[in-house]
Structure formats: structure tokens, C-alpha cells
Structure 1
Amino acid sequence: MIEYWAESEPEKFRTFYGEFGPLFKSGLNSDFANRDRITELLRFHSTRTDDSKASKDAETASKGEDTSEKSTASKGEDTSEKSTASKGEEKSEKSAASEQQDKEAGSNALADMVSLKTYVARMADTQKEIYYLSGDSLEELKRDPKLEYFCKKDIEVLLLADPVDAFVVPGIGSYREKPLKSIEKADLDLDDDPDEEEKSDRLTGEALDRLFAVFKEEAGDRVEDVVASRRLVDSAVTLTIGKEGLDSHLERMMKMMDQETGTSRRVLEINPSHPVIRNMSRMQEAGSDETVRLMARQLYDGARLLQGELESPGEFVSRMTRVMELATKRKDS
């Protein structure tokens, strides 16, 4: 029945998936006899999901209904009794309209979700893995620096914002001989072929190694390694996970459920082409070690903040103020 809806009656399937999606997906870890059939019916948001149209449609509908309701209320205010009744009806109509908008927006968003079959069908011939990223919300995921390389190369990434996804998707393993791989993993096989301009801007050699040493000292044993990033385009740093580490979103959820997992050490990736990194290297050469260390710690903690792993935001803000003080300091003072 559900397979028939997905194929022939998509509106019914979207209604079902919107209501029972998390429960349905959890069947991957319990209904092993139907595991393959369930996998075919999974739907995900992705970096190619166009949910902006649904938001605009809902906003337009909301404005139209507000105007209509105001007009109706205005015409109905002939007597005090009619006015009271009108206000009660307005609230009822507005509540019903709001519920309808939520349903329509949800239905439109589901219509843009992608199946694994569709994802694989539009993969480039050179792409060997199905990429995904999990997090607390779609907006948070879309701002994650780890997506920069994939957006630049127009490689689709599944965005897993449903809490149950973190538990079931890694267990799929592979689909049609394509491994599912979290882009949080440090060991991704990415094509690193910078253009001539990027090559000329990139920090290399001993200068980069000296800067790495500062980052390692500031991050301490909380990081497994500090490496040059191949996935960053616009950001200076990001945190990834080692081969044996847990997905950071899954790790946070496990802790919320009082499941002790320990804390996986991260890999700190640095963008050697970023202006801040190049400027820090020049400052290091000029002997401004204290400032360079301050900035290194601030960049590292900024990456932790984006990961939801920063324990001391007060210290982070105080350090940011100090960095701004140094940046605005008069050279002759």
C-alpha cells in the first residue's frame, strides 16, 4: 500500500510520511525482513532541496488570509453583539488557517525531499559515495562549513535533520553498491585540484607547519590532529571526526539520553588559502606570537561553537573582545 502511494498517489504518501516518518524509518533497525523495501521509501532533504518556494507560498497565503479576515471583521462590526461574535469567529478561522498553512508548508517541503534512488540517478559518474550530514535543523546544516567544497563542486549532500536519521542512516551501509558516507569524516576521498589563483594564495611548507604547531598547542589533546583542509572554501577552520570517531550529532544525542560514549577527539582542518590564516603566518614571522596564539584559540573555539561543543561561551566572548582590541589598537601606542 505505502509503495503504491509513493508511486501513484504522492500526496497520500507525503501525508503518511509527514505524520509517521520517524516511526517508519525506525523500522530499518527492527523489521529486517522488509529492510530493503523500507530503504526504497526513505526520503531526505538535500542541498538541492528547494524549500524556499514552500516558505514563500505559505507567507503569501498568510498575508492573503490576514487581509480577508480583517475585511470580514470590519464589515461585521454593526453591533456590539455581532462584533463579539465576529472576534470569536476570527480566532477560530485564524487558528484553522494557521493549521492549514502548516500542513501545506510541510507537504510542499516533503515534495522536495529526495529518495536514495533519485540521489544515485543524478550522481556524476566520478562520484563513488552517497554523502550526508546530520544536525539539529536544516538551517544549521545549510550553514555548516563542511558543505563548502560540495556546493562548489555541485555535489549533492543529504541533510539529516530528523533526530531518528542519526541512528538509522549510518546502519544502511550502502545503497546500490554506493557507500553512505558522512561528510564529517576526516578521511573523505576528495578531489583536491585548486586553480592557479588558489595555488598562489595557499600557505605551504614550513610556514604552514609552524602555524599548525600553534594550533596543536592551543587545542591540546582535544584534537587528534591538525591538517590542511581540502573541503573548506570560504571558512578558515572546521572540525571533522577521525575514522573511528562517532558522528558529532549522534554523540550529542547519546549524551542527552544518558548513554555514555566518551568524547571522540576531532581533527582540526585549516584552510591554507584563507586570508586570516595567511595573515596569522605573517604575524608569526613578525614575532607577534601572543596575538597569533589568541587568534588560533579563538578560531578553534569558533569551530567548537558551530559543532555545539563549546562549554565556555563567556571565555569565548572575552577572548573575542581582546582580539578586537588588538585589531583596533593604534600602531604608535
Structure 2
Amino acid sequence: MSRETLEFQAETRQLLHLMIHSIYSNKDIFLRELISNASDALDKVRLESLIDKDLAVDTSDLHIEIEVDKDKRTLTLRDNGIGMTRDDVISLIGTIAKSGTAELLRKLRETTDGGAAQALIGQFGVGFYSTFMVADKVTLVTRHASEAQGTLWESSGEGAYEIESLDEAPQGTSVTLYLKPEDRDDQLFDYTAEWKIREIVKRYSDFIAWPIRMAGEDQPVNSMKALWARPRSEVSTEEYHEFYKHVSHDWTDPLETIHMKGEGTFEYEALLFVPAHASFDMFSRDGKRGLQLYVKRVFIMDDCEALIPQYLRFVKGVVDAHDLSLNVSREILQQDRQIQVVRRRLVKKVLATLKDLKAADAEKYGGFWGEFGRAVKEGLLEDPDNREQLLDLVLFSSTAAESTSLREYVERMKDGQTDIYYMTGESRAMVEHSPHLEAFLAKGYEVLILTDPIDEVWVEQVTEFDGKPLQSVAKGKVDLGESEPSAEQAADFADLLSWLGTTLQENVKEARLSTRLTTSAACIVGDEHDITPTLEKMYRAMGQELPQTKRILELNPDHPLVTGLRTAHAANADDPALAEAAELLYGMALLAEGGELADPSRFTRLLADRLARTL
């Protein structure tokens, strides 16, 4: 049948160009990536054969075969796994349908470190393209186990690829690499040498559960031992790390390894990993999460979400259960009591491991938190049973520290301080310059600075830590050890406050004197249980319209602008200029906290007119 030439997606072309023309410290990993893909295909065909009795496949000798041809300078890797349809080939190889592509390409262009570039590519999970580091051309022949027709794909890794339907093709996938010319100065990278291939397989893929054979040989190159079933004392750090790279398709070592075994009424083994870096799709709605599920060494499914909660979606690994059915479905797993028990144990073990890491190595834990902290904080909402453990793991920035835990904050609390003070906002700079902080900073109180979107939500449900209430500095009244405004002050400003409340009634519920301001004229605060402006904005961005929340205008009774406004109001309460001044005062308070003016052009016109009259 005739061949069809198709263009790579633009992002795919750019990525291929970078991989072909950039330097990488270890090109051997291309073979690990191909073997890992082949292993996945073998897992899937065995599972399909168990579930679908009508699927005509021979699973008696599932394996991976590697063949080298020195004369033609080719390396071929074959598997008799599930295979791919024509549509699979186009969608999986011709397109990178993932969020974060542009960011990946930007970082790849910026880095000159080969190891760092590999780490970036690993995070994105595009291992197949690593073949173009060593090959001038790649040919793939595949046939899905459920189809009679095969597909041929071929490309030199430039702007396009060729694809052709085949009347006949063996079940599974065969990838042939037409290797680049031999580098006489570097024999270590001769991928037509069998000793080199054996060395790579033993180093990176020894644990693969399927036999990996050299062409024409019956004896497998790999040991095929399931790592999670072996005693911890018999597994080296290097073996753990290579297994992590296999299950995660990451190219960097994991941050932490967790090897555990459950015995009793429900037996299982688990081998989990905490990555060193977040994947590009961690916050994508379509991002994959979950663990690989096996039953008595038989692969059941990838991305088993029932085994790990959403907020720990970055955890990778394998769970091998002994007592589940081989054809268990995702829906059944969600309700399975035994799976829920395993999930709870896995969560507790992961959280305990992170707690130990935090205690043992603050710098290493800080790196973890920078990558995954936003996700972990989701657990404060999702997982009330483990909320106390999570609160001990959370790190914040504050007015006194770039990074602090709640426990460290409590240890630094001033004598007589009863509350843990915090403020939410869109950025650290916005919070630091907020008038709400003035009195707190003046008196030396530390305030937590919460700038992640999830912070706006969890602080509404988490009311205390270690018996200390969490208190927003932008809500309700604050008690910093000072008395309320005196009766004399209250009387002096009563008329002005009443007038402001009426004049600005479309925007504020009341005006009152403040004890939290030292330098600013005014600020806007919410009642204790009001929704914050940032959270209100988030809901509206998601298409959820909310009724307007009127807030409170607080005035600094010692500020010249406020005392001047009081004097002018007492002299002539009907002066139209007073209403404009009130509007400007409210607008300035709104802008100071990072809010948005309803009518910016009117505000700037009033301000310009007022400034012009002073010149």
C-alpha cells in the first residue's frame, strides 16, 4: 500500500531537533526507554488475554528480542506485546499532546548541562525520541493484537514522518535504529557490539519481568526478578533507582524510596518512590496519576487512582496484591475494602517518610516542598484524617523567614501572643506592602504569607494548629494588646464614619476606626467569615457567579488625610468634593490590597482633577 507523509506537530519537531543536536551525558538510556515501552506492551497483552477470551493471541512465550547487524549498522528491538493501531502510532509518536510543551522547550534551550537536559526530558516522558540521539533514521513496524493489519512508521527525526498500512505484520512492535556513523574515537558507544548491549540491559533493565534475549539465543540477558518481592537487604540503591526510572519514565534518580510489605488478612508488597522533580502535567486536569497494580506478579493496570489520593499524585511505584481478582475493574477498586486499607497504609507510610526527611535534611526537604508543596496542601482539604500530620509537613514563607513550619512559627511567638497570624494574597510583594500588616510589623509580630491559590481555600477549614487559632490579619478585628479607640475619638469621628458608610454603601457595609494601621490612611477588611476577594475572583474565573461581598472600610484616625476629611465634613457636609474624596479614599484602600477598581477611568480622572487643584 502507498506511503503517506505527515508533518510532525510543531512542538514535536522542535523537541526532536533539540534532542538530535544537543549534548547528552549518557546516550545509553535510549535502549532502556525502548525496553521499558516493550515491557509495558507485554504487560498489556497478557492482561488483555486474561480478560478477553476471544482475543486470538499466543502468550506462551512473551519476550523482548534485540538484534544487531554490524554490517548494516542497525539495532532492532522486537516485542510480541499488545502492539499499536495506526491511530495509536500517529497520536503517540507524531504528536506531543501534553500541557507544558512550550515550557519544556524553553528550559531545554536555556540549559547547557546534558544531565539537566535529560532530567527535563524525563519529566516530560518522551523517551521514544531518545532514539534519535544515536540513530539517523528509525523504522517502526507494529500490529495491534486485535487487528489483522499492521502499520509501518519511519522518520529521520526532522520535519516529517512516513506512515504506511501493511497487509501483514507480526503481532507486537519492532523498532529498527539505523545508527549514526561509528565514532572511532569512542568505542564505548558502539551499539552494534553485543557486549555493549548486554551491559546496558544488565545495568538498566535487569529487573524487567519479561525475558530479554539476544537474537538467536534462548537464555535471557536479564534476571527477571521482581524487585518489590525481594528482601530490602538484597536490593542495591542503583537497582531501586533504575526500577524507578522504568515505572516513571523519569531520567533522574528519585528523592526517596519506600519498600514495604503488608501481611495478615490482606497481603501485599509495595515499592514507592518520591520523585526529585514535579512532572509537567502535575497540575493538569488530564495528568496521569496513581500506582501500577499487580496481582501475584501479573500486571493489572497503570495509574490505579484507588491506591493513592489526589494530593499525593506525584508518588510513583508498584503495589502487588495477593488476593484480588485478575479482572478487577477501576470501579470495583474504588469500593474495595481491602484496597482502601492498603491505601490508608500507603498514605501513612509516605507521610511518615516525608516527616523523617524533613527532620533529617532541611535543605533536601525544602527542595521537595518547592516541587510538590502546592499538591500536598490539597490534602488539608481532601484528607481530614491526616490533617495533623500534614500540618506538620507544610512550609510557608513569612514576614520573618523565607521558609518556616507552623511548629517553628509557634516557637517564635511573642509572649502573650495567642493566635497564628497569616495573610493570603497573589504574591509575596503584594502581601508585604499591604496596609493590613502595618501594626503587626510595627509591634514585631510574625505573619505567614500565603500566596498559593489553594491557601485561600484550606484556611477556611483549618482553624487551628497545636491549640493556637489561625487568624487572618485582613479579617475581623485584631487585638494587638492596644485598647480600642477612645470614647473621645469615637465621638469625634462618629459623624464622618456614618456619612462614609452611607456615601459608599454600594461597596462597603460600614466604616470604622482601625487599630491595625500605622502609616496608611485606610484599608478594607472582611468580617471574620467573609469570603476573601482573591477566592471570590477564583470562583468567578471558574464561571461561578457569587453575590457581591461588601466589606468594611477602616480608617487610621491619626492620618492627616483622615483628620482633614473629618474637619472638611464638619465644616460643610454637603460639599460635592467630599463625596469625591470618599470615593478616592476607598479606591486607594482597594488598590493597596491588590484589588480591582470597578471604574478605573473614573478613579484616574478624579485623582487627576484633585492633583491639578493642588498645583
Secondary structure of 2:482's partner? coil
Asked if structure 2 preserves the Cα contact closer than 8 Å seen for 1:294 and 1:323, the reply is no
User: Which residue type is aligned with residue 322 of structure 1?
Assistant: D
Whether the 8 Å CA contact 1:46–1:158 is kept in 2: the answer is: yes
Q: How does 1:1-333 map to 2 (within 5 A)?
A: 1-49=353-401, 112-193=402-483, 204-287=489-572, 289-307=575-593, 308-328=595-615
Provide the rounded CA distance (Å) in 2 between the counterparts of 1:174 and 1:145. 25
Give the superposition deviation at 1:306: 3.0
User: Judging changes above 3 Å, is the alpha-carbon distance between structure 1 residues 206 and 180 closer, same or farther for their aligned structure 2 residues?
Assistant: closer
Instruction: Answer 1 or 2: which has greater strand percent.
Output: 2
* Partners of 1:215 and 1:226 within 8 A in 2: yes
Contact in 1 for aligned 2:476/2:527 (Cα 8 Å): yes
Q: CA deviation at 1:189?
A: 3.0
**Distance of aligned partners of 1:316 and 1:203 in 2 relative to their CA distance in 1, 3 Å threshold:** farther
Deviations 1:287-319 (A, max 9, x none): 372332221110111212234131211110001
Q: Secondary structure at the match of 1:220?
A: coil
Q: Which residue of 2 aligns with 1:85?
A: none
Q: Is the 8 A contact 2:500 2:511 kept in 1?
A: yes
TM-score by structure 2 length?
Answer: 0.41
Change (3 A) 1:36 1:205: closer
Indicate the residue corresponding to 1:97 in structure 2: none
Conservation of the 8 A alpha-carbon contact between 1:186 and 1:267? no
Counterpart Cα distance in 2 of 1:207 and 1:172: 40
Q: Which runs of 4+ in 1 moved over 6 A?
A: none
Matched residues, percent identical? 31
Structure 1's 238 and 259: CA in aligned 2 closer, same or farther, altered over 3 A? same
Greater shift, 131-140 or 30-39, is seen at 30-39
Shift of 1:122: 1.0
Secondary structure of 1:5's counterpart equals: helix
Letter of the 2:385 partner, please give it. A
Distance 2:391 2:490 in 1: 47
- 1:81-126 deviations in whole A, cap 9, x for unaligned? xxxxxxxxxxxxxxxxxxxxxxxxxxxxxxx311110111111231
Please report how far the alpha carbon of residue 2 of structure 1 lies from its aligned counterpart in structure 2 after TM superposition: 1.1
| Structure 1 residue 145: Cα displacement | 0.1
The answer for unaligned runs of 5 or more in structure 2 is 1-352
Query: Shift of the alpha carbon at 1:282?
Result: 2.4
In structure 1, the gaps of 5 or more residues are 50-111, 329-333
Contact between 1:214 and 1:296, CA under 8 Å: does it hold in 2?
no
Equivalent-residue separation in structure 1 for 2:465 and 2:368 (angstroms): 24
Moved more, 210-219 or 168-177: 210-219
Change (3 A) 1:47 1:203: farther
Q: Is the 8 A contact 2:501 2:509 kept in 1?
A: no
State how many pairs are aligned: 261
The separation in 1 between residues aligned to 2:514 and 2:399, in whole angstroms, is 21
Q: Secondary structure at the match of 1:172?
A: coil
Larger radius of gyration: 2
